[in-house]
Structure 1
Amino acid sequence: MDASQVRAFLAVAEELHFRRAAERLHMAQPPLTRTIKQLERELGTTLFDRNTRSVSLTPAGQAMLEPAREVLEALRRTTEAARSAERGEVGLVRVAFAGVSTHPLVATLARRVRSERPGIELELSSQNFALPAIQKLATRETDIALGRWDVLPDGIDSRVVMGDRLVLAVPATHRLADQEEVHFAELRGERLVTLPPDEGSVLTDRLRRLAEAQRFVPQVVQVAPDTQTALALVSAEVGCSLTLSSVAANQGDPHVTFVPVAASEGGGLPDVHLRAAWRADERSPAVRAVLDALLEVDQVDEPSVPPASPSSGSKVR
C-alpha cells in the first residue's frame, strides 16, 4: 500500500461516489477505479460494495477508514517536519559562550529565538574562558561559540558582535579611582589580581603584552579562577584587576571602581571585542537561522556604562 492508494481510498470512502472522488483527486475515473481494485487485491478483501446506483463501505472498508486518515496525517507531519527543518524552523543548536560579559547577549538571543523560531531548541553551555568554547566548535561539540580570540582554527569563520575595551577594576579607595583614565605605566609595582595564565584568557594575555610594552613585570598577588572572583578580591582591596567595559556595565559593587585604560603613545589598545564564531562549512539551516538572529541583535558598539550613584552600583570613571 502506498500513499496514492491511501488517498484514493479516502476520497472514495468520504465521497461514496467514484466520479466525485476522481474530480477531488484531479484524475479520470477509470484510473481511480483501477487503483481501488489493485488495493483490494493487495489487501485480499473488498473495501466497497458498489453497483450502478450507490457505493458503500464494507466492514473492512469501515475498519480501514480511521487508520488511513492517521496514515495521511502522519505523512503530512513528516513532510512538514522536513520542510520546516530545511527552512531553519526546527532543530537543535548548541551555543557555547565564555565569560559573564556574554550573558546579556546570550539572554537576548535566547528570547528572540524562542519568540521567532519556537521550533528551534537552544542548548546553552557556559565556559569560564573562551579557549574551551572554540575547541568545542572545532571538534563539532557545539555549533556557535561566543568569546574573544586572537587566533582561530582553520575552517572557522567569525564576526564581531560586541565592541569592548579594557578597563582597570580598582578598590573605590584606591589612588587611581578618581582618574578619568589610567596609563598602563602607572601599574608598575601595583598589586594585581589576574585570571589563570593557562586557560587562554584574553585579559591575561593583554596584561602581559601591555606590561612588556612598558618594560615591567606585573606584580600578581593572587590568581582568581573567574572574573566574578577577581572582582570580589578587588572589592576586598587585595589588588587591582584588568577587565572589560562590558563586565563593568553589569556589576553592582559600590566598593569597586572601573577606570578606562588609556591607549599607549605608540597606538591603540589590543582588540578585546566579543566575537561569534562558527564552522565555515556549516550547512544546518537551524544553525544559520540562529546565526542570523545573533548577528541581527548584535551590539557592535562598546557597552554604555553609566556612572552609578555612591549608594548603589559600581563607580565608573
Structure 2
Amino acid sequence: MTADASDVKAYGKDSLGRLGIRRAQLLKNLQHFVVAAELGSFHKAADRLAIVQSALSRRIGELEIQLGGRLFEREPTGVRLTLAGEALLEDASRILREVDLAIRRFDLIDSGQVSLLRVGFNGAAMMFAPIPDGLQRFRSTNPTVELRLTPMLSEQAFQALATGAIDIGLAYELGYPHALKSQQLVLDDLALALPEHHPLAAKAELVVEHLDGADFIGMDLAQSGLMAEKVAQALQSSGVAIRVLMETGSTEATLSLVAAGLGIAFVNRSQSGRHPPNVVIRHVDGFSVPLPLKLFWRAEIETTVLLRFVETLAGQFEAAGRVV
C-alpha cells in the first residue's frame, strides 16, 4: 500500500481535505510572516499586503499557534524576531521562493514555452567526451527545454524510470529486467585499478590468473548487486577466487582506497582518465565484463523532446566514431 493510500485509510477523504486547507492557511500565514519580518513592522506590512493591521496580527497569531511558539517580540517602535522567528524566516523565504518557482515553471510548460526533461545519469559515463559535449549541444539547440540532471548508479536509474522519477536514464545494461526502449551509445568494459607500487603493476602483461587470492575492494552489493554478480561470474568462469576486504558505493571512493594501498579493484575502463596519480589502470587478459552504455526510456512517455535528446547524444558518438 502506498503512503497516499495509507493516508486515505487513516484519515479519510474529509480529513485529507481539512489537511489541505490547513496547508493552504499555513502558506498564506507564512507569506504574511515574511513580509512583517522583512519590514520589522506590522503597520508597514499591512500596508504592503493591502490588509488591515488587525487581520495581519490575527494571521501572525494563527501561525504562532500552529507552530507552538512566539515569532516576534513586540516593541514600541515595531516588532523584532525571536531566535525561533529568525530561523523560520530563512526556511519560510526558501519555501515561498520554491512555490513561486514551481508555479512559474508550470505556467511555462503548460503554455508550451518550456519543456522539462529529467535525466538520471551514471557518473562513469561522463568520462566519455561525447556525453558532456552532447549535453552542451542539446542545451544550445533546445533553449526552451529545462534539463534536470541527477547522478545515480545504473541500477538506481532503472528503479527511477520504473517509478517515474526520471524521464530518461543514461545507464549501463546490466541485465536488469525491464521493458524499456533504448539506444546504445558505446561499449565500455572493466579494467583493473591498482597502486603503482603493487607487485602486479610491475608485470608487463596481466592475465586473470594473476588475480587469484588478491585482496580486492568490492562493489556495494546493495547498490551495485548486478555489477558485482557479473564480476563474480567472470572470475568464477576463469577459476579465480579473490578476497573482498571492503565494499564501496562509488568509483571515487574505490579509487581513493586503491590509492591508499588498501587493495585493488575493478573499475570502468572509461575511468582511466580520472584516477589519482599513484594509481594505474591495467587491462587483464582473459577477463572481460562488457558494459553497453545506453539511453533508456519508457515508450509511453516518449516525446519529441526526449527523442531529440537521444538523437543528439547518439549523434555525438557517431561523430566521434565510437558507436559499437
Query: TM-score, with normalisation over the residues of structure 1?
Result: 0.61
2:150 to 122, 125, 129: 125
Asked if 1:165 is matched to 2:189, the reply is yes
What letter is aligned with 2:316?
V
Asked if 1:183 is matched to 2:207, the reply is yes
C-alpha contact 1:164 1:302 (8 A) present in aligned 2: no
Match of 1:239 in 2: 263
Deviation string, structure 1 residues 242-292 (Cα, Å, up to 9, x no partner)? 1111011233x221011112235xxxx332131111112333221111111
Deviation string, structure 1 residues 53-93 (Cα, Å, up to 9, x no partner)? xxxxxxxxxxxxxxxxxxxxxxxxxxxx99x95xxx84110
1:283 to 271, 279, 302: 302
What letter is aligned with 2:163?
T
Deviation string, structure 1 residues 284-311 (Cα, Å, up to 9, x no partner)? 22111111112111267399xxxxxxxx
C-alpha contact 2:175 2:226 (8 A) present in aligned 1: no
What letter is aligned with 2:299?
A
Match of 2:138 in 1: 113
C-alpha contact 1:98 1:130 (8 A) present in aligned 2: yes
Deviation string, structure 1 residues 174-220 (Cα, Å, up to 9, x no partner)? 12213454222211111101110222355423321122113343201
Q: What 5-or-longer segments of structure 2 have no aligned partner? A: 1-107
SS of match in other structure, 1:162: strand
C-alpha contact 1:138 1:156 (8 A) present in aligned 2: no
Match of 1:272 in 2: 291
Deviation string, structure 1 residues 138-167 (Cα, Å, up to 9, x no partner)? 222111101112224443012221221221
Match of 2:322 in 1: 301
What letter is aligned with 2:139?
R
Task: Find the aligned partners of 2:167 and 2:204 in 1 and give their Cα distance.
Answer: 41
C-alpha contact 1:165 1:302 (8 A) present in aligned 2: no
Task: Find the aligned partners of 2:119 and 2:205 in 1 and give their Cα distance.
Answer: 35
What letter is aligned with 1:259?
R
300 and 140 in structure 1: CA distance in 2 versus 1, 3 angstrom threshold: farther
Task: Find the aligned partners of 1:237 and 1:201 in 2 and give their Cα distance.
Answer: 24
Task: Find the aligned partners of 1:99 and 1:119 in 2 and give their Cα distance.
Answer: 25
Task: Find the aligned partners of 1:255 and 1:184 in 2 and give their Cα distance.
Answer: 22
Task: Find the aligned partners of 1:283 and 1:216 in 2 and give their Cα distance.
Answer: 44
198 and 192 in structure 1: CA distance in 2 versus 1, 3 angstrom threshold: same
SS of match in other structure, 2:155: helix
Match of 1:143 in 2: 167
Task: Find the aligned partners of 1:296 and 1:229 in 2 and give their Cα distance.
Answer: 32
Match of 1:308 in 2: none
Match of 1:73 in 2: none
SS of match in other structure, 1:232: helix
- Percentage of identical aligned residues: 24
Task: Find the aligned partners of 2:176 and 2:218 in 1 and give their Cα distance.
Answer: 24
Of structures 1 and 2, the larger Rg is shown by 1
Match of 1:26 in 2: none
Match of 1:215 in 2: 239
277 and 167 in structure 1: CA distance in 2 versus 1, 3 angstrom threshold: same
C-alpha contact 1:138 1:153 (8 A) present in aligned 2: no
271 and 300 in structure 1: CA distance in 2 versus 1, 3 angstrom threshold: farther
136 and 244 in structure 1: CA distance in 2 versus 1, 3 angstrom threshold: same
C-alpha contact 2:182 2:294 (8 A) present in aligned 1: yes
CA RMSD of superposed structures (Å): 2.7
Match of 1:50 in 2: none
178 and 206 in structure 1: CA distance in 2 versus 1, 3 angstrom threshold: farther
C-alpha contact 1:193 1:240 (8 A) present in aligned 2: yes
Task: Find the aligned partners of 2:246 and 2:204 in 1 and give their Cα distance.
Answer: 26
* Bigger helix share: 2
Task: Find the aligned partners of 1:302 and 1:155 in 2 and give their Cα distance.
Answer: 23
- Give the length in aligned residue pairs: 214
224 and 184 in structure 1: CA distance in 2 versus 1, 3 angstrom threshold: same
Match of 1:174 in 2: 198
C-alpha contact 2:195 2:280 (8 A) present in aligned 1: yes
Asked if 1:260 is matched to 2:283, the reply is yes
Query: Residue 224 of structure 1: CA displacement?
Result: 1.6
Task: Find the aligned partners of 2:188 and 2:216 in 1 and give their Cα distance.
Answer: 21
Q: Which moved more, 1:214-223 or 1:185-194?
A: 214-223
